Amino acid sequence: MNTLNTKNTSPYALLPIAVFLIIYMGAGIIFKDFYSMPAVTAFLTALIVAFLQNRSVSFSDKLTVAAKGLADENILTMCLVFLAAGAFSGAINAAGGVESTVNLGLHFLPASLAVVGLFLIGCFISLAMGTSVGTISALAPIAIGISEKTGINMALCLGAVVSGAMFGDNLSLISDTTIAATKTQGCAMRDKFKTNLFIVLPAAIVTIVVLFFMASGSSAAIAKSGEYSLLSVIPYIFVLAGALCGMNVFTVLIIGTVLSLIAGIITGNISGIEIFTCMGDGITSMYDITIISIIVSCIGSLVKLGGGVDWILNTVNRRIKTNKGARLGIGALTAGVDIATANNTIAIIMTAPIAKEISREYNISPKESASLLDISASITQGLLPYGAQLLYASAATAGSSVTLSGFDIIPFCFYPMFMIVCLAIWIIFSKNKAN
């Protein structure tokens, strides 16, 4: 039964979001590059529009509303975790952890399992790094080399890499999407991980089977892997194990960063001032998403003040009558925003306040709403030809024996496709209860 406010509702309060989409998508269409317009610039323009609306409220009162939204514990925690994750990422990269992890996997990889191995290594690296783009950047050149040496379809190899990258991007406990989804919905990362894994693990298993049969018939050997250091892989293992055991995320990331620096010093990859600069580089890489989170929080508060959130909720309520319909609505809304923005973290941050209200109305637990947000955004992001993931994968083929576009790789991105099926099955058979 609908218990939401119907008096203070207005679709015009959503104008800032429409302005953002028009600017962001318009620039992508005009310049044929969805990353030509910095998202932070488009969001800042939308924030200005939000402040100009609702003239019945003074500017100083609007500032107070925006500040209260920004002061939300979940938003502040999310921003701090972004920065801590950046420090760990910078330290582990400088310590040679990424290269060692890749080479370690390839060292034990049989030729007959080349493509399956690319997927599994991608899963592990993305789980440890928390970034799909970083995983693709590390593995794409290797996938291309395997294709050229074995004769396996290059698009298939890159599809396996993108699939593995999206596995960790969706599940990693230090991924910005996981951080955004859990903090905005108010659930523990461990709980969200378990719920996510229950939904998507079948998709990963089916992906392995499909990749194995599609790549069968190639018996060429894989080129000898490079050197690796087990010491450099330890920080990854600790972060993954520590977070799964329920350790505080800040504690995990801080210890992981220290272990990475120690490993880098012992192996000679980090020395002197680099101890600080590598962390600084990682933190800097998180500035954009942190600033965007701050701006979006302010926009969301002003949109809610104008009745925009209540209007969406009432509109959804008129079309959704069941718990399952609410789950489907959250997933479709998140996927739609991701298609529009080509950024799954931004899609989650924009959709999160609405998802939280829908979840409360239809008794969907925080861990389930967080999973819905993350999985839905991950599905679309892994299949967008203009998304960063496929753009990186296709760009890596420049200068190789075969040059591919994102559209060439999409048919082989099996994991996001199978996630659609698994998510649909979970929604259909889900039980109406909140934990």
| Structure tokens that stand for 93 in this block | 């990269």
Report which of residues 219 and 334 the model is more confident about.
334
Rg of the Cα trace of the chain? 22
Grouping H, G, I as helix, E, B as strand and the rest as coil, residue 350 is helix
Q: Decide if 212 contacts 414 (C-beta within 8 A).
A: no
Q: How many helices (H) and strands (E) does the chain have?
A: 21, 0
Q: Decide if 230 contacts 101 (C-beta within 8 A).
A: no
Residues 6+ apart with CB under 8 A from 2: 314, 317, 361
Lowest mean pLDDT, pick from 192-196, 209-213, 393-397: 393-397
Share of the chain above pLDDT 70, in %: 87
Angle at alpha carbon of residue 406, lines to 143 and 422, rounded to 5°: 85
Grouping H, G, I as helix, E, B as strand and the rest as coil, residue 397 is coil
The separation between the first and the last C-alpha atoms of the chain, rounded to the nearest angstrom, is 20
Q: How confident is the model at residue 74, as a pLDDT? A: 63
| Structure tokens that stand for 405 in this block | 């576009």
Q: Decide if 92 contacts 260 (C-beta within 8 A).
A: yes
Q: How confident is the model at residue 52, as a pLDDT? A: 92
- Give which of 255, 85, 101 is closest to 178, Cα–Cα: 85
Task: Give the total residue count for the chain.
Answer: 435
Q: Decide if 262 contacts 269 (C-beta within 8 A).
A: no
For the chain, the domains span: 11-429
Q: Decide if 82 contacts 273 (C-beta within 8 A).
A: no
Each residue of 253-298: pLDDT tens digit? 889 899 999 999 998 888 878 889 999 988 887 788 788 878 888 8
Residues 6+ apart with CB under 8 A from 64: none
- Give which of 42, 201, 43 is closest to 123, Cα–Cα: 201
Single-letter code of the amino acid located at 115: V
DSSP conformation class of 228? -
- Give which of 248, 226, 280, 273 is closest to 89, Cα–Cα: 280
- Give which of 279, 250, 244 is closest to 183, Cα–Cα: 250
Each residue of 221-231: pLDDT tens digit? 455 556 778 88
Each residue of 66-112: pLDDT tens digit? 888 788 776 777 678 778 878 887 888 888 876 776 677 667 766 56
- Give which of 163, 53, 81, 205 is closest to 393, Cα–Cα: 163
Residue 214 has pLDDT above 90, yes or no: no
Q: Decide if 379 contacts 420 (C-beta within 8 A).
A: yes
Each residue of 33-75: pLDDT tens digit? 766 778 788 889 989 999 998 888 899 999 999 888 788 776 7
Residue 6 has pLDDT above 50, yes or no: no
Q: What is the mean pLDDT of residues 241-260?
A: 78
Report which of residues 359 and 81 the model is more confident about.
359
Distance CA 120, CA 164 (A): 6
Q: How confident is the model at residue 305, as a pLDDT? A: 86
DSSP conformation class of 4? S
Residue 44: C-alpha distances to residues 47, 382, 425 (Å): 5, 27, 39
Find where tokens 């965007």 sit: 292
